[in-house]
């Protein structure tokens, strides 16, 4: 069961082998240096602009849409001829699934559904599947077909065809399915995840992918496969070893405010998860943070903050592998349309001693997921 991952709607070894990253010096960077990037994007259709700005041999980028700072959705195509779906690219899970014509759940009736009868390359199985997420679950059957992600054509890819989908989150979400990008050992038994299959088929030049997440529904969010475009971040990437292969799990040194440790004292473990919207941690640690920012809890369990405090509250600093990663109040507090403010910190269910660094953190830091070296790269994202 994947208890972490998509839609929190309330929300290595000791010696690393270093390989050079493909820095995609694209038209985007040239336009940015000449202060022409904004005009170019406004004058060209969004998807076509990004095709020209990012398309390089052995690497591809897929634009994503920020939906209310809750999750990021991009387009993929499945089958021959291709059928299009909007999916969450989720580093907190490992499987791909989309709704199917066999599903009669309300969530399926409101989204695009895959029809295997229309695809000449579909291979059926009778293997039932069941997947659980933080905000819903699905049951269905396993199939194989061609999956196109940007310019990449991934053949004979295992994916789930849903028969049932639970929860209002799936029903009203602005996405059809989930595309997992975690390690294969947490994928459905006997299957190879999308990214692993792309690498196995030689579709990408380097065994890594990266995310740039924009904020406040701004355009520009992108997931890139097989290379890194350094125009999306400032300074140098700082590398963090993966401590446990499954989710993208790393060690955190501490969480502090004004030099005082308020959580993760002595170190803790965290998961870097593009499919979770908030910063989530153990209950006792989150309680200390909420107390520090003078938050109070409502009868419905939401943590509210005085909106005026957003300009005065200090950064909360997450130190990882000796590097400080500040999270300002403007990131850890969210403001509603009616001028009510909430904390973007939430506690985990139960007594699980694990942090989840979700989109609140990842909007601030461009992130590279390096499977070749089992490490995560972080650098301040451009605004």
Catalytic residues: 90, 273
* C-beta separation of 157 from 177 below 8 A: no
Contacts of 69 (CB under 8 A, 6+ apart): 215, 216, 217, 277, 334, 359, 363
Q: Rounded to 5 degrees, what angle do the CA atoms 356, 253, 93 make?
A: 25
Contacts of 340 (CB under 8 A, 6+ apart): 304, 307
118 in Cβ contact with 81 (< 8 Å)? yes
């Amino acid at each position: 069961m994947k208890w972490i991952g998509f839609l929190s709607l309330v929300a290595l070894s000791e010696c690393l082998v270093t390989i050079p990253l493909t820095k995609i010096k694209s038209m985007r960077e040239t336009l940015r240096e000449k202060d022409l990037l904004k005009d170019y994007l406004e004058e060209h259709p969004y998807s076509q602009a990004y095709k020209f700005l990012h398309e390089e041999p052995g690497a591809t980028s897929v634009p994503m849409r920020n939906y209310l700072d809750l999750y990021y959705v991009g387009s993929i195509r499945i089958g021959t001829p291709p059928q299009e779906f909007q999916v969450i690219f989720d580093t907190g899970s490992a499987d791909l699934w989309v709704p199917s014509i066999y599903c009669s759940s309300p969530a399926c009736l409101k989204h695009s559904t895959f029809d295997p009868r229309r695809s000449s390359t579909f291979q059926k199985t009778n293997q039932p599947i069941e997947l659980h997420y933080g905000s819903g679950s699905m049951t269905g059957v396993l199939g194989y077909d061609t999956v196109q992600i940007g310019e990449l054509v991934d053949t004979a890819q295992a994916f789930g065809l849903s028969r049932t989908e639970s929860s209002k989150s799936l029903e009203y979400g602005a996405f059809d399915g989930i595309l997992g990008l975690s390690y294969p050992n947490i994928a459905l038994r006997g299957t190879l995840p999308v990214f692993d299959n792309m690498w196995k088929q030689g579709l990408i030049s380097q065994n890594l992918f990266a995310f740039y997440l924009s904020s406040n529904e701004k355009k520009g969010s992108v997931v890139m496969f097989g290379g890194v475009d350094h125009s999306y971040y400032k300074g140098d990437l700082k590398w963090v070893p993966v401590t446990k292969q499954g989710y993208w799990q790393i060690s955190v040194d501490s969480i502090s405010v004004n030099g005082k440790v308020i959580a993760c004292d002595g170190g803790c473990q965290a998961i870097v998860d593009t499919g979770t919207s908030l910063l989530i941690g153990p209950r006792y640690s989150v309680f200390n943070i909420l107390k520090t920012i003078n938050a109070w809890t409502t009868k419905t369990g939401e943590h509210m903050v005085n909106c005026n405090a957003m300009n005065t509250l200090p950064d909360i600093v997450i130190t990882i592998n000796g590097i400080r990663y500040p999270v300002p109040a403007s990131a850890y507090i969210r403001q509603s349309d009616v001028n009510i403010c909430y904390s973007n910190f939430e506690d985990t269910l139960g007594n699980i001693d694990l942090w989840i660094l979700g989109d609140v953190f990842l909007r601030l830091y461009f992130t590279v997921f390096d499977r070749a070296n089992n490490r995560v790269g972080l650098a301040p994202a451009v605004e």
